[in-house]
Structure 1
Amino acid sequence: DGQIAMFVETIASASYVDSGSRGKHGWAWAPVPMWEVQAPPFAGTDVVMFKGITAEQKEAAWKFMKYLISPEIQAYWSVKTGYMPVTEIALTTPQWKAYEEQNPTVLVPISQIPFGSVDPNVALWDDVRTILGTMVGDVINQKRTVEEGLAWAEQEILLKVANQ
């Protein structure tokens, strides 16, 4: 509705932002804000091969994984989904170069690859992240003061830790 000045979101949301903005207002990428260190969050879904499968299934899985990370398929997948390619060489393919030429702002998130960070690999991280996200949303939407939000988040996190 044109009332958001800025938000931090994943590259995968670009198609949703674009379709929601079309005909109403423009939008553009900007580097993730930084304070002392530039460390934009990177995430993704894993592709795994299970241990307890037959040799034939392992061969098929390996062939699929090699196909999936091939430069041309990564470029195609990235262009069609909005996700960043998982291989740097995909950025050199003709399809990616054409996409980049039509959408030069995609270079902003791509330029942050060298600085990327991943979520902590610690127990309860997903729960903590959800609690913090709820707290920030509640404060922004004036459902809680900053002090109330911090106190609530601390209580919720301590409960999660105690029940682990």
Structure 2
Amino acid sequence: MPPDLDAFKIWLSGCGGEVLGPVNEWEVIRVRTSVGILVAHRTRRGRQIWPAALLALAQQFERGEIPALAATRRGRTPSRLRQRFAALAARDGAGCFFCGHAVPAPGVTCDPDMAPTIEHLVPVAHGGPNHLSNCFLAHRRCNAAAGTLSAAEKVRLRDAMRKERRVSA
């Protein structure tokens, strides 16, 4: 355990790690690195428990070494997106829920605005589940336009976007 936790956190960030906020009062430090998320925590009696990988980093910090800690990518893995995309395309077709245009499969080169995303009918921010029954395909731009609207507002937005598409066609 490093004597100066704040300096250790700054050092971790400088080496490419991502220092995350604690998720409970027992956590001493939480950091995302190339080996995953490492968490040190405190027991009820105040004893700190540090995983071996985080202790090794603390030793490198004390020796003045600079490891490469490029943080792992946040969010869904591409294979997870591909799996969900396939399941939703099989259920609903590969069209965008909002505009109705085809959504390209994950990994296909396309305009970033048209990239595939998984949208939630009832937003997770409003308590919606992250389950396929609450999900559908959408372009990144359409998904961003919907934001955290309620389910009813998303259906109205979809109807307006599809009506606009018919008028312009």
Q: TM-score range by the shorter chain?
A: under 0.3
Structure having the larger proportion of residues in strand: 2
Whichever of the two has the greater Rg, that structure is 2
Give the TM-score taking structure 1 as reference length. Answer: 0.24
Give the TM-score taking structure 2 as reference length. Answer: 0.23
Structure having the larger proportion of residues in helix: 1
Considering Cα pairs closer than 8 Å and 6+ residues apart, tell me whether 1 or 2 has the greater RCO.
Answer: 1
